[in-house]
Structure 1
Amino acid sequence: MSTSKLIRGYEVVIGLETHAQLSTQSKIFSGSSTAFGAQPNTQASPVDLALPGTLPVMNKGAVERAIRFGLAVGAKVANQSIFARKNYFYPDLPKGYQISQYETPVVQGGTIEFFVGGVHHKVRLTRAHLEEDAGKSLHEDYAGQTGIDLNRAGTPLLEIVSEPDMRSSAEAVEYAKTLHELVKWIDICDGNMQEGSFRCDANVSVRKPGEPFGTRREIKNLNSFKFLQQAIDFEIQWQIDLVEDGGKVQQATVLFNPDSGETRAMRTKEDAHDYRYFPDPDLPPLMIPQPWIEDVRAHMPELPRVMAARFQKDYGLPEYDATMMTQSKAFGAFFESTAKACGQPKLAANWLMGEVSRRLNAEGRELDASPVKAETLAKLISRISDGTVTNNGAKQVFEALWTGEAQDVDAVIEAKGLKPMNDTGELERILDEVLAANAKSVEEFRAGKEKAFNALVGQAMKATKGKANPAQVNELLKKKLG
C-alpha cells in the first residue's frame, strides 16, 4: 500500500485499468491479422463482425500470454475462467457487444512493486482478464464526418486492473512505467503507446483522511506517461475545487485534452449492471490445466524482481540500486556486463543511475542507443579505481566519449592531461596559493565554520583542474590549517 500525501488537505485515491494489446499475429477469436497500419477495414473478418453463422474460436497464444503475465506478478492463474458479453452500443463496436471476462477472470490478484523518490511501493492487482479490442473512430480528414476502421476489432487485449492503492500522480506514473516494462520483458506486448498497444484509464477520487472513498471519475485512453500525469493532476485539482465550492463529484467517464491540459466529461459512468453481462453462449469455459501453467512457468525469462534479488546477492547492491538496474532487460544486461568487466558493481550502478541516465533522458534515447557501451564504461570505471583519473576527470572523459570526440578512454585521459597530480610538492605550492588568496575562508574555518573548509577544497580542486586526489587535498589542507 502507498503512504498518503495530502493535497490541500485531501487524500487522493487512484486506481488504473491498463489495456495491453497481446503480441499475437492473429486476433483473439479469428484468424485475421493484427498487423498495425493496414488500409482501413481490410483486416475485419466475418467472425470479428459477428455475422450470422460465424463462431469465435479462442486463440491459444493469447491465453499463454495471459498465463505468462499471471506468473510474472505472482497471481493465481484460474484453471477455469468464463467469457461474457459486455453489451453496449458504439459505432466502432460492430457486434453491439464486447467479448470479455467478468465474474471469473483468467488472472486473479498479484502485485506490482516500484520505487518513487527512493521509497518502496507495492500496488495490489485485482485481476487481469482477456477480451477483444474495439475498432477505431477516425475524426480527421473526413470533412466533418467520422470514419470507422474495424481493423482493430477483435485484437486480443489483457486488461489489467489495480486496486485503488496509489495516492499521487507520481505513483500512478511509476506503476504504469513498471507495468509497461514488465509486459515487454515477458514478451506479451510490444508496449508501443503511439500505436495504442498500451493505454491506461485512470480512476481518480479525493476524500478527507479517514473518510470513505469519494466518487471516482474515470479518465479514458491515456497513451503517454506525460498525459497520464497531467490528466490526473488536473482532475485532482478540479475535484477538490468542486468539493470546496460545495458541489458533489458525479461518477463519470472523462477525456483528457492534451492541448488544453484539461479533462471534460464524456458520459455518465456506467456500472456493471448497465452492461447486462451474461456468459457468452458461443464460447465454452476456458480450461487451463495445471501442467500447461507449469510448462509456461518453466519457459519464463528471469523476472525483474528475481534479477534484482540476484544483483543484491551476487554484487552486493542495495535494494534500490538493484531495482534501478532491472528497470529493463537492456539495463540489467548493460549493468552486468559493466560490473563483470570492471569488478566494481557499485560504481557501475552509480554511473548508470547518474551520468548515463542523465544523458539518455536529456536526449530522449533508449539505453541500446547509448554512444558509450558497457565495455567502454567498464574501462573508465577501472581507471577511476586504479587512480589513473579522478572522478571529476572521468566525467570529462565520459563527455568526450558520449559526444564522439574520442573512442578510447586512455587516449582521452592522455590527450586532455587528466592524469592525477602525484607531485606532492607541486600540490602543496598550489594549496599555499589557494590559502593566501582565500584569507576570508581561512578565517571563517578557524572560527568554526565547516562550510568554509569545503569552499577551500573546491578552490583547490579548481586550481588543479580536477587533477588532485580529493582525499589528499583534504588531508594536506587540514595540516596547513592546523
Structure 2
Amino acid sequence: MNQKVKKEATLLVQGYEVVIGFETHAQLATQSKIFSRASTAFGAEPNTQACAVDLALPGTLPVMNREAVACAIRFGLAVGSHVAEESVFARKNYFYPDLPKGYQISQFEIPVVQGGEVSFYLGEEKKTVRLVRAHLEEDAGKSLHEDFHGLSGIDLNRAGTPLLEIVTEPDIRSSAEAVAYAKELHKIVTWIGICDGNMQEGSFRCDANVSVRKPGDPLGTRREIKNLNSFKFMQQAIDFEIRWQIDRIEDGYEIEQATVLFDPDTGETRAMRTKEDAADYRYFPDPDLPPLAIERSWVDEVKAAMPELPRAMAERLVADYGLPEYDATTLTQSPAMASYFEEAAKTSGQAKLVSNWIMGEVSRRLNIDEIAMEAVPVKAAKLATMVGRIADGTISNNAGKQVFDALWKGEGDDVDALIEAKGLKQMNDSGELEKIIEEVMAANAPMVEQFRAGKDKAFNALVGQVMKASRGKANPQAVNETLRQKLEQG
C-alpha cells in the first residue's frame, strides 16, 4: 500500500468510515447479441452492427441468447450464488441519444443470479464481499464526442450487446480494498471464460458507489463514480471522492446523491447528473419476453464443465507444492500463468524457485514487451531445465538471467548449449577454489586480520575478492563455506 493510501486510511479511522458498493458490467463473450443475431465483434465501422431487433423497429421481437444465459449460470456457480429457476426481464425506461429503444431490457425484481460472494486477499488479510445479485441486460450504444466539433456522434454497434451486471453489498471500506475486489472479480470472469476483461474496450466497466459516515451512524448519501476503466484510475477516483466528501461535510454541507465522472487529467471527480432511483426508471415486465426458465439439469451440466476456480487452485498449490499463500495467489492470476507454473514445477521439482522466476523475471519481461502470458517466448520446459541447473549448482542465479535473456530473445533453445557457449558454468572444483581463496587471503592480509579481530564486514569483502578472482564462476555457497573454514583455521 502506498503512503498516500496509508495516510488516507489513518484519517478515516480518526473521523470517518468509508462505505463502498460496486456495480460491474461484464460484457459477455458471445458471438451475437443478447436478443438478436447481430455481431458483437469490437472495432467495426460505426452503426454497421445494429440490426432491426437492436433498434426495436416495429414488428421485431427479441429472442433470448442461450449462451448469454449459460455465462450467467457459470458466474453464479463460480461465486456460490443461487441460480434462479425462473427470472424475469423488465424494461428500464429512460431517454438518452445512445438508447435507440427509449428503454433498456434488463432484470429488476427477479434476477437470474442471486447472492454469492467474492473472497480475496489484501496483503495477508482475507476479505469477503457479499454479492446482492447478477442480472442479464443489454448494453446501450455509445456517444462519441472527441471527433466532432460542437456536436456528438452516436454509434449503435454496442446496442444489444449482452451484459452481466454484478452488484455488491456495501461491504468495501477503502480504495485499496475496492481495487483488490475489482481485480479478483476480473480474474473470475476471465478465468471462467465469460468475459475477455478488456477494460480499454469497455468489456469490464466498474461503477463505485462511495459514501462516508461517522462510525456507528446510518449509511451516508452515496455518489456513484461511473465507468472506471482502469484499476489505477479506480483508486485515484475513490481516494479523491472520499477526501471531497469529508471536506464537504466538515465545511457544513450535505452530500447530495449524484452520478459523477472521474477526470484522469485533473485527478478529480465532477458531477454529471442527479442520481436516479429505481422509481425514476418506471420498471415493468417486458411484454415481449416470457420468464427465463432454467432447468436444474442445465445447471448441473454447466457445473460439470466448470474449470478449477482460481481460489481453489491457489489452495491446492499451497498444499501440493508448499508455496506461500502470496505466491499461490499471484500464480493464479490467469489460467495460462497457473498452467505454466505447474508444468515447470513438475518438470524441475523446484516449485519455489520456479515461482520466484515467474513472479520476477518472467513477469518483468512480459510487462516490458507488453505481451500476454499465453505468448511467453520461453517455454515452461526450458524454464524448468534452467531452474534445475541453478538448483544443482551448475550455474548461479545471475548466470541464469543471462541464459533466460538468450532464450527470450531466441538466441537458442538448448539451455545446456547456451551455458557452454557463454562460459557460465560455476566453478565446483574444490581444489581450484581453495587455491583461489588462499591467493586472495595472501593478497588481502589486513582484511583477514580484521575478520579474525571480529569485524564481520571484512568477510563480505573477501568473498567479493574471491568472486572477482574467479571471474564470477565460483559457487557462492561453496565460497562462503570454504573461505570461512580457511579463516577459522588460521
Residue 18 (structure 2) pairs with residue 12 (structure 1)? yes
CA positional deviation for 1:223: 1.9
Aligned to 1:77: 83
Answer whether contact 1:445 1:452 (CA < 8 A) is retained: no
Aligned to 2:109: 103
Equivalent pairs: percent with the same residue? Answer: 70
Give the whole-Å Cα distance in 2 for the aligned partners of 1:116 and 1:409.
38
Aligned to 1:394: 400
**Pairing 1:444-463 to 2, within 5 Å after superposition:** 446-447=453-454, 457=463, 460-461=466-467
Match of 1:348 among 332, 346, 354: 354
Residue 119 (structure 2) pairs with residue 113 (structure 1)? yes
Aligned to 2:420: 414
Answer whether contact 2:91 2:284 (CA < 8 A) is retained: yes
Give the residue type in structure 2 aligned to 1:296: V
Give the whole-Å Cα distance in 2 for the aligned partners of 1:269 and 1:446.
75
Answer whether contact 1:205 1:214 (CA < 8 A) is retained: yes
Answer whether contact 1:339 1:345 (CA < 8 A) is retained: yes
Cα displacement string for residues 146-195 of structure 1 (whole angstroms, at most 9, x for unaligned residues): 12222211111101112333333333233222322322222212222222
CA positional deviation for 1:430: 4.5
Give the whole-Å Cα distance in 1 for the aligned partners of 2:259 and 2:442.
67
Aligned to 2:204: 198
Answer whether contact 2:23 2:208 (CA < 8 A) is retained: yes
Answer whether contact 1:434 1:459 (CA < 8 A) is retained: no
Uncovered stretches (5+) of structure 1, i.e. residues with no partner? none
Give the whole-Å Cα distance in 2 for the aligned partners of 1:362 and 1:119.
30
CA positional deviation for 1:365: 2.2
**What secondary structure is seen at the aligned counterpart in 2 of 1:6?**
helix
Give the whole-Å Cα distance in 1 for the aligned partners of 2:443 and 2:246.
60
Answer whether contact 1:312 1:322 (CA < 8 A) is retained: yes
- Number of matched residues? 479
Give the whole-Å Cα distance in 2 for the aligned partners of 1:252 and 1:481.
74
Answer whether contact 1:435 1:456 (CA < 8 A) is retained: no
CA positional deviation for 1:377: 0.3
Match of 1:166 among 165, 172, 180: 172
Match of 2:44 among 24, 29, 38: 38
**What secondary structure is seen at the aligned counterpart in 2 of 1:188?**
coil
Aligned to 2:3: none
Give the residue type in structure 2 aligned to 1:251: Q
Give the whole-Å Cα distance in 2 for the aligned partners of 1:230 and 1:442.
56
**Pairing 1:351-370 to 2, within 5 Å after superposition:** 351-370=357-376
CA positional deviation for 1:453: 5.1
Mean alpha-carbon deviation: is it higher for 470-479 or for 383-392?
470-479
Give the residue type in structure 2 aligned to 1:8: L
**Pairing 1:147-166 to 2, within 5 Å after superposition:** 147-166=153-172
Cα displacement string for residues 287-306 of structure 1 (whole angstroms, at most 9, x for unaligned residues): 11111111111122232233
Residue 383 (structure 2) pairs with residue 383 (structure 1)? no
Answer whether contact 2:447 2:462 (CA < 8 A) is retained: no
Cα displacement string for residues 321-378 of structure 1 (whole angstroms, at most 9, x for unaligned residues): 2222221111111112212221222221221112211222233221123232211101
Answer whether contact 1:341 1:378 (CA < 8 A) is retained: yes
**Pairing 1:297-316 to 2, within 5 Å after superposition:** 297-316=303-322
Answer whether contact 2:448 2:487 (CA < 8 A) is retained: no
Give the whole-Å Cα distance in 1 for the aligned partners of 2:442 and 2:212.
58
**What secondary structure is seen at the aligned counterpart in 1 of 2:374?**
helix
CA 84–219 in structure 1, closer or farther in 2 if over 3 Å, else same = same
Give the whole-Å Cα distance in 1 for the aligned partners of 2:446 and 2:174.
50
Give the whole-Å Cα distance in 1 for the aligned partners of 2:190 and 2:379.
22
Give the residue type in structure 2 aligned to 1:300: M
CA positional deviation for 1:211: 4.3
Give the whole-Å Cα distance in 2 for the aligned partners of 1:125 and 1:7.
28
Match of 2:239 among 233, 245, 248: 233
Aligned to 1:180: 186
CA positional deviation for 1:133: 0.6
Answer whether contact 1:441 1:455 (CA < 8 A) is retained: no
Give the whole-Å Cα distance in 2 for the aligned partners of 1:112 and 1:135.
30
CA positional deviation for 1:19: 0.7
Give the residue type in structure 2 aligned to 1:288: I
Cα displacement string for residues 407-428 of structure 1 (whole angstroms, at most 9, x for unaligned residues): 3322232233222222335434
Cα displacement string for residues 226-253 of structure 1 (whole angstroms, at most 9, x for unaligned residues): 3223322332333333334343332211
CA 116–466 in structure 1, closer or farther in 2 if over 3 Å, else same = farther
Mean alpha-carbon deviation: is it higher for 385-394 or for 167-176?
167-176
Give the whole-Å Cα distance in 2 for the aligned partners of 1:399 and 1:437.
36
CA positional deviation for 1:267: 0.8
CA 474–120 in structure 1, closer or farther in 2 if over 3 Å, else same = farther
Match of 2:62 among 56, 66, 71: 56
CA positional deviation for 1:452: 6.4
Give the whole-Å Cα distance in 1 for the aligned partners of 2:107 and 2:457.
64
Give the whole-Å Cα distance in 1 for the aligned partners of 2:177 and 2:458.
40
Uncovered stretches (5+) of structure 2, i.e. residues with no partner? 1-5
Give the residue type in structure 2 aligned to 1:407: D
- Superposition RMSD on alpha carbons, in Å? 2.8
Answer whether contact 1:127 1:162 (CA < 8 A) is retained: yes
Residue 373 (structure 2) pairs with residue 373 (structure 1)? no
Match of 2:29 among 17, 23, 30: 23
Mean alpha-carbon deviation: is it higher for 338-347 or for 49-58?
49-58
Give the whole-Å Cα distance in 2 for the aligned partners of 1:227 and 1:179.
17
Answer whether contact 2:107 2:136 (CA < 8 A) is retained: yes
